[in-house]
A and B are shown apart, each in its own frame.
Chain A
Amino acid sequence: MDPALIKLALGGLAVLGCIGLFFGIGLGLAAHKFAIQINPKVEEVIEVLAGAQ
């Protein structure tokens, strides 16, 4: 195998991994920051109600 190609592949893995990590952490932080409280009882009540339409 051509070492240049291996280098490219490994570099690609590293770069894409970094991008993924970056955006993943970003989304995680956003989800944390913009978290909203959902009353768990809402789900329970919907569960109990008849489900058709």
Chain B
Amino acid sequence: MKERMRHLTLTGLLLAAILVSVGCDTGHRFVKKTEFKDGETIVITFAGPVDEAWAKEKANYAVYEEPDPDILLPIKEISLSPDRTKVTLSFDDGLNTRQAHVLKTKEMLSEGRSQGTAILTVKKLYFGLLLSIFIGAMVVNNFVFTKYLGLCVFFGTSQRKATAVGMGITFTIVIVFAAMMAWALYQFVLKPFQLTFLNIVVFIGLVSLSVQAVDTILRKVNPALFKAFGVYLVLVIANCIAIAVPLILADNEYTGPESFMLALGAGLGFLVALFLMSSARERLELANVPPSFRGLPIAFIVAGLFALAFLGFSGMSIH
């Protein structure tokens, strides 16, 4: 128990250290921190008070997205905090916070003394980005309820809670496996050989390949688990989320960790959808449903209601 606690504390400390080092590393001794706020503004925290005349001058700042140094983003307004250490830059158009931004300042003046020029990068915390991809795939853009993908397997296996959970877990494992292979193949084979137009063919092959591989290996390594998965393992091939995830990660040029989070989110989102649906359908069997609606029709109506509920998440994002 004690050992476990120590492990946990150590892991926590390590994570905190990484977060702190990622969040504060600006590369200039006079600038303590640069960060995005509310998706529209950039906040610069200085180590000491800066001169108001200098801080309020728009020509002193140049901001652009890292890949496009030619396109300077127009600054709308500059505000200075009362203790003159925090400058908030707001922009005409919203910022694309997924992209790292470069902020160049002209010679900074503090109490009449020069602190030199600075070239700073502003970027979202990487953990935040990963988390937002994960939550986005799992809840906000749930593949079943907002994109209507994988419906045949969804209706086929959501009659019993036990089968629903079994299918969800199997699917999560296979999708993570397939998505990581799809990412590697796309980044290191298809793109260098300019064969990205073939990605649908390749990804379909990869999904069936990973299902076959998991099937073969699991049959030998863990027969009990294999028996528990039963027919669902093969059913994963028929699920179109398994092809949507590789296509999405290829379209958005996701990196390895981002692809992993997307696949994990998609799999767990499917699990959540299946679990919710099976819980509702188990109750439905006891309910007094008109004969013409019994079975699949009422299931479709319930799925529609779930989709409406999930619409409440739409547009949410994590800053």
With known contacts A27-B212, A27-B213, A12–B193 Cβ distance under 8 A: yes
Chain A residue numbers with a CB within 8 Å of B193 are: 11-12, 15
* B283 contacts partner chain A, Cβ-Cβ < 8 Å: no
Q: Kindly supply a per-residue 1/0 record for chain B positions 185-217, scoring 1 wherever the CB is within 8 Å of any chain A CB and 0 otherwise.
A: 100010001110010011001000100110011
Interface of A is mostly: helix
Distance in Å from the Cβ of B43 to the closest Cβ of chain A?
47
A15 CA to B213 CA in the complex, in Å?
Answer: 21
Question: Which chain A residues numbered 11 to 46 have a C-beta less than 8 Å away from chain B?
Answer: 11-12, 15-16, 19-20, 23, 26-27, 30-31, 34-36
* A52 contacts partner chain B, Cβ-Cβ < 8 Å: no
Would B195 and A27 count as touching, CB distance under 8 A? Answer: no
With known contacts A20-B205, A23-B209, A27-B212, A15–B217 Cβ distance under 8 A: no
Number of chain A residues whose Cβ lies closer than 8 Å to a Cβ of chain B: 15
Q: B216's contact among A8, A12, A19, A34, by CB below 8 Å, is which? A: A34
Distance in Å from the Cβ of B179 to the closest Cβ of chain A?
16
Q: Can you show 5 pairs from A to B with CB atoms below 8 A apart?
A: A12-B195, A16-B202, A30-B216, A34-B216, A34-B221
Question: In the complex, given contacts A11-B193, A15-B189, A27-B209, what are 5 additional A-B residue pairs having Cβ atoms less than 8 angstroms apart?
Answer: A8-B195, A19-B185, A27-B212, A30-B217, A36-B220
Q: Hey, which bits of chain B sit against chain A, CB under 8 A?
A: 185, 189, 193-195, 198, 201-202, 205, 209, 212-213, 216-217, 219-221
Q: Hey, which bits of chain A sit against chain B, CB under 8 A?
A: 8, 11-12, 15-16, 19-20, 23, 26-27, 30-31, 34-36
